[in-house]
């Protein structure tokens, strides 16, 4: 845990003049030590000619973990470097500007402190699993470890021949080498953020679960879990088909669902999702987890947040789309249930630590995995859906995906798309829900009306920042029931209704608003 948190503290913004186009990672694994031997080829475009470039790569620490560079070649010529503070600075005079990409080849070796998990699995078998999120790849790979610089990638893995090797992309070579080794080469032709590039090597049982929306879906599980795993992971066909219809075409060559040693419950690696090894139970309990990680293939992986603090565009979207998958597969009540649960969690969290969803004060990237990014992000989408209407909302989601597919987007990009499809100014909506901490705290009471036969409903916002929103109120009056919609933007809003004082009111009966009801 400590090592994990230490590794997650960098998150240096990428140099805007540097654009990595392609990574080729050659990694040699063995069965006797955790020492890996690597050559990484990196193709980079520079805006203008430069004579130095820096990548993130952990240098050896006091315990000897980290990577030691042995040679660097830039455009065919040996180059010099400095490697300290987990930054590798390469000096060369041959790196030209735009239109003339440079090829940098870095040879290095070492024991990864993180990013590549080398360990025994639950059955005692040795396994290797890349686990990059958020910026842990640079513990063993020289990269621009930031979601804003996407690149295509190849993993060329040499390992003892008993390992099966899976990775992002499609398989282009598997061949035996001398001395009981095997080379496995996977290539991804769609640009990815480094956080979701991946490979894994283990003893696997492999099965084609089927095709969904034309995409081959594979299951990779430990051979000891073959029956349970093939059964549990096959459900992936359903959300993949569903999101393809709802949002747009899936972006990658295949989808592999992989039992793994990821430190997370699931890690949405592009086209190669890793699930924790205990996700396989044989009882089909992983459907929500699988639906969440598959939703990330659209949002997070294909449309990637341009900077870390916009991560709700990844986690909030995956969380909400999972609820929508359940709504449209198992019924509307499922959506209400999950939004109520999410609301409870958001309120509990904002009471303890009120922070905006987009919180640029966060420097430990692991803290981005918060209720704000997931559940409040999902609530923002849920409220936006009510705000602009069903058809417009999904039109906007599809347009956002289409426009930023395999690229990067920030919150403003999403807002502009939603303004375009709705013809509305949504600046205040986005501002209050994403950049302001907390949510409306409403004191709702009944008062005698001015005229006889009337009762007033008084709604008071008791927090400092005044939100602007519609609140539905269900009025139960002597066996009959109706819903009124009240627009609220002031400190106190008072409406008169034709009813006696014996009415019962239920605010937000349809679960459409993120708010706290204050009784005091
Ligand atoms: Zn997620």
Q: If pLDDT is split at 50, 70 and 90, which confidence band does 181 have?
A: very high
Q: What is the mean pLDDT of residues 295-319?
A: 98
DSSP 226: H
Q: How far apart are the CA of 310 and the centre of ligand 1, in A? A: 13
Across 355-359, 412-416, 469-473, 495-499, least confident range: 495-499
CA 166 to centroid of ligand 1, rounded, Å: 21
CB atoms closer than 10 angstroms to residue 270 = 27
Percent of the chain with pLDDT over 70: 97
Is pLDDT of 338 > 50?
yes
Q: Please say if the pLDDT value at position 2 is more than 80.
A: no
Measure 300 CA to ligand 1 centroid, in angstroms.
8
Higher pLDDT, 96 or 419: 419
What is the whole-number distance in angstroms between the Cα of residue 299 and the centre of ligand 1?
9
Q: What is the pLDDT of residue 164?
A: 98
- Give the strand pairing for 87-95 and 164-167: unpaired
Mean pLDDT throughout 145-161? 98
Q: How far is the CA of 269 from the centre of ligand 1 (A)?
A: 10
Q: What distances in angstroms separate CA 178 from CA 36, 144, 458, one per listed residue?
A: 18, 34, 81
Q: Decide if pLDDT at 1 tops 60.
A: no
CA–centroid distance, 313 to ligand 1, in Å, is 10
Distance, C-alpha 248 to centroid of its chain: 18
Distance 267 CA to ligand 1 centre (A): 7
Residue 9: per-residue pLDDT: 39
CA 482 – ligand 1 centroid, Å? 39
Question: Average pLDDT, stretch 503-508?
Answer: 96
> Distance from the CA of 489 to the center of ligand 1, in angstroms?
33
**Residue 89 · residue 52 · CB < 8 Å:** yes
Ligand 1 mean position, distance from CA 386 (Å): 23
Separation of 32 CA from ligand 1 center, angstroms?
35
CB 432 within 8 A of CB 439: no
235 compared with 95, residue with greater pLDDT? 235
pLDDT at 501: 76
State the Cα–Cα distance between residues 379 and 343, nearest whole angstrom.
8
Name the helix (H) or strand (E) containing 293: helix 287-298
Distance, CA 99 to ligand 1 centroid (Å)? 36
293 CA to centre of ligand 1 in angstroms: 6
Tokens of 6: 């230490």
The three-state (H, E, C) secondary structure of 332-366, written as one string: HHHHHHHHHHHHHHHHHHHHHCCCCCCCCCCCCHH
Tokens of 160: 């003892």
Quick one: average pLDDT of 70-96?
Answer: 95
Per-residue tokens: 461: 């916002």
341: left (phi over 0), alpha (psi -120 to 50) or beta: alpha
Averaged over 344-361, what is the pLDDT?
Answer: 97
**pLDDT at residue 12, rounded to an integer:** 52
pLDDT confidence bin for 346, thresholds 50/70/90: very high
CA of 328 to the centre of ligand 1 (A): 20
The pLDDT of residue 11 is 43
How far away, in angstroms, is 467 Cα from ligand 1 center?
28
pLDDT of residue 5: 33
Residue 430 in tokens: 């986005």
C-alpha 319 to ligand 1 mean position (Å): 7
The predicted model scores a pTM of 0.96
- Residue 143 alpha carbon to ligand 1 centre in Å: 22
Confidence of residue 13 (pLDDT cuts 50, 70, 90): low
Query: Which residues, including other chains, have CB under 8 Å from residue 179's CB and lie 6 or more apart?
Result: none
* Residues within 5 A (CB) of ion ligand 1: 315, 318
Instruction: Label the pairing between strands 441-448 and 516-517.
Output: parallel
Distance CA 306, CA 304 (A): 6
- Give 17 or 349, the one with higher predicted confidence: 349
The rounded distance, in Å, linking the Cα atoms of 177 and 200 is 19
**Rounded mean pLDDT of 381-402?**
98
Q: Measured between alpha carbons, how far is 303 from 404 in angstroms, rounded to an integer?
A: 6
Task: Quote the ligand 1 centre to 133 CA distance (angstroms).
Answer: 11
Q: What is the pLDDT of residue 6?
A: 33
Distance (angstroms) between ligand 1 centre and the Cα of 292 equals 6
Cis peptide bond N-terminal to 293, omega within 30: no
pLDDT of 10: 41
Residue 205 has pLDDT above 70, yes or no: yes
- 14 pLDDT band (50/70/90 cuts)? confident
Residue 289 C-alpha to ligand 1 middle, in angstroms? 9
Query: For residue 108, how far is the Cα from the chain centroid?
Result: 30
| Cα of 390 from ligand 1 centre, angstroms | 24
Helices (H), 94-149: none
Q: Interhelix angle for 287-298 vs 237-246, to 10°?
A: 40
Query: How much distance in Å is there from the Cα of 266 to the middle of ligand 1?
Result: 8
How close is the Cα of 50 to the center of ligand 1, in Å? 37
314 CA → ligand 1 middle, Å: 7
Which residues are within 8 A (CB) of 414 and not within 5 positions of it... i.e. 6 or more apart?
A: 313, 400
- Residue 469's H or E segment, with its range, is strand 469-477
456 C-alpha to center of ligand 1: Å?
44
Please state, in angstroms and rounded to a whole number, the distance separating the CA atoms of residues 147 and 137: 12
- Long-range CB contacts (within 8 A, 24+) of 331-337: 336/510, 336/511
CA–centroid distance, residue 4 to ligand 1 (Å)? 18
Q: How far is the CA of 297 from the centre of ligand 1 (A)?
A: 10
Q: 369 CA to middle of ligand 1, Å?
A: 9
Over residues 425-447, the pLDDT tens digits come to 999 999 999 999 999 999 999 99
Cβ pair 268, 217 in contact under 8 A: no
- Residue 520: pLDDT band by 50, 70, 90 thresholds? low
| Rounded distance from Cα 399 to ligand 1 centre (Å) | 22
**Ligand 1 mean position, distance from CA 291 (Å):** 10
Average confidence (pLDDT) over 377-396: 98
Supply the pLDDT for residue 286.
Answer: 97
Mean pLDDT for the chain overall:
95
């Amino acid at each position: 845990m400590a090592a994990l948190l230490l590794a997650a503290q960098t998150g240096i913004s990428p140099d805007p003049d540097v654009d990595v186009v392609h990574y080729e990672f050659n990694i040699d694994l063995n069965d006797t030590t955790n020492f890996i031997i690597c050559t990484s080829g990196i193709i980079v475009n520079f805006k203008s000619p430069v004579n130095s470039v820096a990548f993130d790569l952990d240098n050896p620490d006091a315990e000897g973990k980290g990577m030691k560079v042995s040679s660097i070649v830039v455009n065919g010529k040996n180059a010099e470097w400095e490697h300290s503070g987990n930054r590798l600075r390469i000096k060369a005079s041959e790196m030209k500007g735009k239109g003339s990409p440079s090829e940098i080849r870095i040879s290095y070796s070492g024991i990864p402190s993180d990013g590549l998990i080398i360990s025994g699995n639950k059955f005692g078998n040795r396994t290797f699993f890349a686990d990059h999120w958020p910026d842990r790849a640079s513990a063993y790979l020289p990269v621009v470890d930031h979601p804003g610089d996407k690149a295509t990638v190849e993993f060329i893995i040499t390992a003892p021949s008993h390992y099966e090797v899976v990775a992002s992309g499609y398989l282009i070579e598997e061949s035996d080498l001398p001395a009981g080794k095997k080379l496995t080469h996977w290539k991804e032709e769609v640009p990815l953020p480094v956080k979701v590039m991946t490979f894994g090597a283990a003893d696997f049982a492999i099965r084609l679960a089927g095709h969904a929306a034309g995409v081959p879906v594979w299951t990779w599980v430990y051979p000891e879990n073959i029956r349970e795993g093939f059964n549990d992971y096959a459900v992936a066909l359903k959300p993949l088909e569903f999101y393809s219809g709802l949002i747009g075409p899936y972006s990658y060559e295949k989808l592999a669902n992989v039992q793994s040693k990821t430190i997370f419950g699931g890690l949405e690696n592009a086209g190669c999702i890793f699930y924790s090894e205990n996700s396989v139970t044989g009882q089909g309990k992983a459907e929500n987890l699988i639906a969440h990680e598959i939703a990330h293939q659209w949002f997070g992986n294909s449309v990637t947040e341009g900077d870390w603090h916009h991560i709700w565009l990844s986690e909030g979207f995956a969380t909400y789309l999972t609820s929508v998958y359940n709504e449209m597969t198992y019924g509307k009540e499922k959506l209400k249930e999950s939004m109520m649960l999410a609301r409870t969690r958001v309120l509990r969290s904002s009471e303890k630590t009120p922070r905006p969803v987009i919180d640029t004060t966060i420097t430990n990237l692991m803290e981005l995995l918060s209720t704000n990014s997931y559940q409040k992000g999902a609530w923002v989408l849920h409220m936006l859906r009510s705000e602009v209407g069903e058809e417009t909302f999904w039109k906007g989601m599809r347009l956002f995906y289409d426009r930023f597919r395999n690229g990067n987007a920030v919150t403003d990009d999403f807002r502009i798309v939603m303004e375009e499809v709705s013809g509305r100014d949504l600046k205040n909506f986005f501002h209050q829900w994403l950049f302001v901490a907390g949510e409306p705290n409403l004191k709702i009471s009944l008062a005698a009306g001015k005229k006889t036969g009337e009762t007033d409903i008084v709604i008071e916002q008791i927090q400092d920042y005044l939100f602007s929103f519609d609140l539905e109120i269900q009025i139960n009056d002597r066996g009959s029931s109706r819903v009124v919609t009240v627009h609220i933007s002031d400190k106190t809003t008072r409406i008169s209704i034709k009813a006696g004082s014996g009415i019962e009111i239920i605010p937000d009966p349809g679960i459409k608003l993120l708010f706290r009801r204050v009784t005091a």
